[in-house]
Structure 1
Amino acid sequence: MDTDVLIVGAGPTGMTLANELLLAGVSTVLVDRLSQRSDLSKAGGVQSRTLAALDQRGLLEPLLATGDHPVTTGHFAGVPLPHHSDRHQLPWRSVPQVVIEGFFEQHLAAHSLHARRDHELVGLAQDDDGVTAAFADGATLRSRYLVAADGAHSTVRSLLRAEFPGQPGTLTITAADVRLDGIEQCASHTWNEDGHWAAHFPLGTDPRGRPLRRLVLGGPDQVRPRETPVTEDDIRDGLSTVFGTRVHLLELRYARRITNASRQVGQYRHGRVFLAGDAAHVHLPLGAQGMNTGMQDAFNLGWKLAAAVHGWAAKDLLDTYHDERHPAGAAVLRNVRAQSLLMDWAGTRDPEVLAAREIFTAMAQLPDVQHHLADLMSGMAHRYPMPGTETHPLVGRPAPDLHLGPTRVHALLRSGHGILLDPADAFAKAADPWSDRVDRVGQGTDTEPMLIRPDGYVCWAGESDPEPALDRWFGESR
């Protein structure tokens, strides 16, 4: 083998996965067809669950130190949501995708892992032992596993001929990175009587310290072929239609048309090949859910691939990637479709839709509803299936970042190992056979016993015997 894992695609999903494998000591090659990293912002925010996962790897503070990344409110169908839910104290942050990619690129390079660019995949074949990837320049590379993180138009997905069912795009909207004058006094989501609308949120600053905004425009006259270029006049006309003379375009840095296509692959695993991020699911870019969901795919898959490479993975551990992340992706597609309907993206001004939105907006003022929707958008509401232990309310959910004397749960997870919290030292003998992959934290912890996977999810809690959960998630004992 040339490497243990080949990752195709050096965006946020691919680089997050590369870091997970690096932490686990797995040899990894990261390739991308582009000659250089994109300088486009694309997604604009990092949700609470992703922030927590970055904190568990010691990456959150260094990422936030890269610039001004203000706390921002999320939204559901244009209705603002609180910064965080009661279960999670990390507020959403405005961190553009271009910053995420630049941060990971430097972090990986500091550990001698560099993306191999100008590597266009043109073929792949797999057998019982591994995957052979062929590139446009005639080179081949042999790996034990291959992960497709190569975006919505995934070459890997096409080569696999993987089913990608869903809804085709029926309309387009315009997304642009801009400098604007007068936008600060305008609501983040604005509609007019003709069905035209605009949404905007901060993107930090440009190299000269001037504030940037992501602007999204929609409505009846925004429905154009996706390939049609977006001009400055298009942006000015859209601003004028929604805001009149209140808002002016100062600079257009980047713009594209986005469709409302909604698709998800039927299977995330195809033998030794795995699909992640936009290669597995596409939808309208609402709440940066595409980038965040892709990064969560990577956090889920990374430790499982490492377990397989190191030889201790249980027989069906790699299958749980699909079992856990396919429902999570499907839930994102559902909430995006619901938001699209309530926001009237097509500008129909349907009286029934307007009535539903009016009632929804009123309901969304209730704190319990706000927190549920915030959890839904961030992925906190999704619970992984954990057969045999699901009766405990913590099981299947992200572990709370408990303070344990001089440390906390997130800091313990930076090893990339599983964590067994054992406050009464009741499970020392039971856990010892897994000590090479599970760190036991004994007396001095003011919490109930729980077993936490390397991705930060609780897989057992309570007073019952933890050995079945240890065996299921961490393989046969030594």
Structure 2
Amino acid sequence: MDTDVLVVGAGPTGLMLTHELRVAGVSAVVVDRLPERSELSRAGGVHPRTMEVLDQRGLLEPLLATGDYPVSPGHFAGRLFDPADHDSRLPGRFIPQTVVEDFLTDRLAGHGVGVRRAHELVGLAADEDGVTATLRHGSTTRTVRSAFLVAADGAHSTVRRLLGIAFPGRPGTDTALVADVRLRDTRPSRPAAAGQSHTTAADGSWAMQFPLGGDLRRLALGGPAHSLPREIPVTEEEIRAGLRTVYGPGVDLVEQRYTYRITNAARQVADYRHGRVFLAGDAAHIHLPIGGLGMNTGLQDAVNLGWKLAAAVHGWAPQGLLDSYQSERHPVAAGVLRIVQAQSLLMDWAGTGGPDVAATRELFDTLLQLPDTRRHLAARMAGLDIRYPMPGAPGHPLLGRRAPDLDLTGAQGPVRLHALLRAGRGLLLDPSGGSDLAAVARGWKDRVDRVPTSTATDALLIRPDGHVCWAAAQPYPSEPLAGALRRWFGEG
């Protein structure tokens, strides 16, 4: 093998996956067909669950140190949440995708891993033992042999095309324009000027914007006047006309940067695994970019898959572990597609201006006054409600869910639970004070860290991605723990 894993695509998903593999001590090569990283900001928000995931790897503090990124309350169909609606100590932030990509690229360079740009995948053959990829770089063609290959190469995935993998779903029926802009706003009242805003006009036109840092903003304009073929360039006059229609004469364009058109296409591959080839991020699922769900879902795909591939490379992956990527992440993305489609209806993305849409939106706004409704939708949008199936395990409120970021007191003093996951290993939180759990866990000490603590009341076995895969209250039976260790961490 030339490398353990070949990652195709150097967007957030591919970079995060490569980082996960390097943390786990697995060799990885990441290639991208573009000669340079795109300057399009694209996604602009990092959700609370993704913030937690970054924190679990020690990435969050250095990422936030690269700039001043405002807190994002998040929204559902343009209706803003309150940060208190999120069950997390880490609020979301407005962090452009370009910043995330630059940061992860720099971190990989610190691991001695560079992105091989201008490397285009032109051939692919997979067998029972590995994958052979043919890459073209300028006038040179070479093959790379890897144990596994991950397609993180976006909505128009070359890997999908070469393997003939179908991408079923709904084609785009309407478009909207997106631009990174600077605006002049002389209105006496500027609602949501510092955060997200969604405003509609009588003719069905709508605008949405959020900050990208400084006075730069991401602007989306939609409705019948802007539903144009994607190949038609976005002009300054089109933006100015849309601003006048939605906001009136008090808002004007000062500077237009990157512009493009987006569609409401919604697609998802049926199978995330094809032998030794896996699909992640936009290569596996696409949808209307509402609320930054695409980048966040892709980053979490990467964290779910990374430790499982590493386990297979190191030789201790139990049977079914790699298949659990499909059973866990496919339903998550399917739910994202549904929740995006519901928002596009409430926002009247097509700009129909119909009375049925207005009536539905009025009812929804009433329901959103209920605290339980807000918390439920906030958790859905932030990725805080994800619960993976845990076959064969008894019921516990935390089973399958993300581990709470507890403040612990252990042998080494006070520490946050999430900080204990930075090595990318499993974690056994042991409050038993006895030797039974310790004796069981000893057989997996090369891949699971046991942390005695007097703070927690329940014993928790936590996977490297931060999800609880076994939990027990007193008297902390040791036999079920052994079964969970074998199920998720192989034979001891």
| TM-score normalised according to structure 2 size | 0.94
Q: What do you get for the CA RMSD once the two structures are aligned?
A: 1.2
Equivalent residue for 1:192?
201
Maintained 8 Å contact 2:286/2:294: yes
Alpha-carbon distance in 1 for matches of 2:371, 2:254: 38
Residue 45 (structure 1) aligned with residue 45 (structure 2): yes
Q: Which residue among 293, 302, 309 is the counterpart of 1:305?
A: 309
Q: Shift of the alpha carbon at 1:86?
A: 4.9
Q: Shift of the alpha carbon at 1:84?
A: 5.2
Alpha-carbon distance in 2 for matches of 1:177, 1:152: 21
Equivalent residue for 1:180?
183
Alpha-carbon distance in 2 for matches of 1:84, 1:10: 34
Alpha-carbon distance in 1 for matches of 2:167, 2:446: 40
Alpha-carbon distance in 1 for matches of 2:282, 2:232: 22
Equivalent residue for 2:224?
220
Residue 288 (structure 1) aligned with residue 292 (structure 2): yes
Q: Shift of the alpha carbon at 1:365?
A: 1.9
Q: Shift of the alpha carbon at 1:85?
A: 4.0
Alpha-carbon distance in 1 for matches of 2:487, 2:60: 30
Alpha-carbon distance in 1 for matches of 2:75, 2:30: 34
Q: Shift of the alpha carbon at 1:231?
A: 1.1
Q: Which residue among 124, 137, 144 is the counterpart of 2:147?
A: 144
Superposed CA deviations along residues 281-339 of structure 1, whole A, max 9, x for unmatched, are 00000111000000000000000000000000001100000000000000000000000
Q: Which moved more, 1:259-268 or 1:135-144?
A: 135-144
Q: Which residue among 416, 428, 445 is the counterpart of 1:420?
A: 428
Q: Which residue among 196, 202, 223 is the counterpart of 2:211?
A: 202
Q: Shift of the alpha carbon at 1:436?
A: 0.5
Q: Shift of the alpha carbon at 1:390?
A: 5.4
Maintained 8 Å contact 1:74/1:81: yes
Alpha-carbon distance in 2 for matches of 1:363, 1:89: 26
Q: Which residue among 361, 366, 376 is the counterpart of 1:362?
A: 366
Equivalent residue for 1:468?
483
Residue 158 (structure 1) aligned with residue 161 (structure 2): yes
User: Which letter maps to 1:470?
Assistant: L
Q: Shift of the alpha carbon at 1:382?
A: 2.1
Q: Which residue among 388, 403, 407 is the counterpart of 1:399?
A: 403
Q: Which moved more, 1:398-407 or 1:384-393?
A: 384-393
Decide whether aligned partners of structure 1 residues 84 and 301 sit closer, same or farther in structure 2, where only a CA change above 3 A counts: farther
Q: Which residue among 262, 269, 273 is the counterpart of 1:265?
A: 269
Maintained 8 Å contact 1:84/1:92: no
Maintained 8 Å contact 1:84/1:91: no
Q: Shift of the alpha carbon at 1:352?
A: 1.2
User: Which letter maps to 1:468?
Assistant: G
Superposed CA deviations along residues 60-98 of structure 1, whole A, max 9, x for unmatched, are 000001001010121111111122545312111000000
Alpha-carbon distance in 2 for matches of 1:10, 1:56: 22
Superposed CA deviations along residues 243-291 of structure 1, whole A, max 9, x for unmatched, are 1111111100111100000000010000000000000000000111000
Decide whether aligned partners of structure 1 residues 467 and 31 sit closer, same or farther in structure 2, where only a CA change above 3 A counts: same
Maintained 8 Å contact 1:82/1:371: no
Aligned residues: 472
User: Which letter maps to 1:366?
Assistant: L
Maintained 8 Å contact 2:33/2:119: yes
Alpha-carbon distance in 2 for matches of 1:390, 1:245: 62
Superposed CA deviations along residues 158-178 of structure 1, whole A, max 9, x for unmatched, are 111112111000000111100
Maintained 8 Å contact 1:87/1:400: no
**Correspondence 1:433-452 to 2 at 5 A:** 433-452=443-462
Q: Shift of the alpha carbon at 1:343?
A: 0.7
1:125 alignment partner, SS class? strand
User: Which letter maps to 1:446?
Assistant: A
2:128 alignment partner, SS class? coil
Q: Which moved more, 1:287-296 or 1:460-469?
A: 460-469
Alpha-carbon distance in 1 for matches of 2:86, 2:75: 17
Maintained 8 Å contact 2:431/2:457: yes
Maintained 8 Å contact 1:53/1:455: yes
Percentage of identical aligned residues: 62
Maintained 8 Å contact 1:384/1:397: yes
Equivalent residue for 1:277?
281
Alpha-carbon distance in 2 for matches of 1:5, 1:317: 17
Decide whether aligned partners of structure 1 residues 290 and 475 sit closer, same or farther in structure 2, where only a CA change above 3 A counts: same
Q: Shift of the alpha carbon at 1:192?
A: 1.1
Q: Shift of the alpha carbon at 1:380?
A: 1.4
User: Which letter maps to 1:54?
Assistant: L
Q: Which moved more, 1:75-84 or 1:257-266?
A: 75-84
Alpha-carbon distance in 2 for matches of 1:395, 1:384: 8
Q: Which residue among 160, 166, 170 is the counterpart of 1:167?
A: 170
**Correspondence 1:112-131 to 2 at 5 A:** 112-131=112-131
Decide whether aligned partners of structure 1 residues 229 and 456 sit closer, same or farther in structure 2, where only a CA change above 3 A counts: same
Q: Shift of the alpha carbon at 1:194?
A: 0.8
| TM-score normalised according to structure 1 size | 0.97
User: Which letter maps to 1:475?
Assistant: G
Superposed CA deviations along residues 38-64 of structure 1, whole A, max 9, x for unmatched, are 121100000000000000000000000
Q: Which moved more, 1:71-80 or 1:304-313?
A: 71-80
Superposed CA deviations along residues 104-130 of structure 1, whole A, max 9, x for unmatched, are 111111111100011000110011110
Give 5+ residue unaligned stretches, structure 1: 206-210
Decide whether aligned partners of structure 1 residues 402 and 443 sit closer, same or farther in structure 2, where only a CA change above 3 A counts: closer
Alpha-carbon distance in 1 for matches of 2:350, 2:389: 37
Equivalent residue for 1:208?
none
Equivalent residue for 2:21?
21
Which stretches of structure 1, 4 residues or longer, exceed 6 Å deviation after superposition? none
User: Which letter maps to 2:12?
Assistant: P
Q: Shift of the alpha carbon at 1:448?
A: 1.0
Give 5+ residue unaligned stretches, structure 2: none
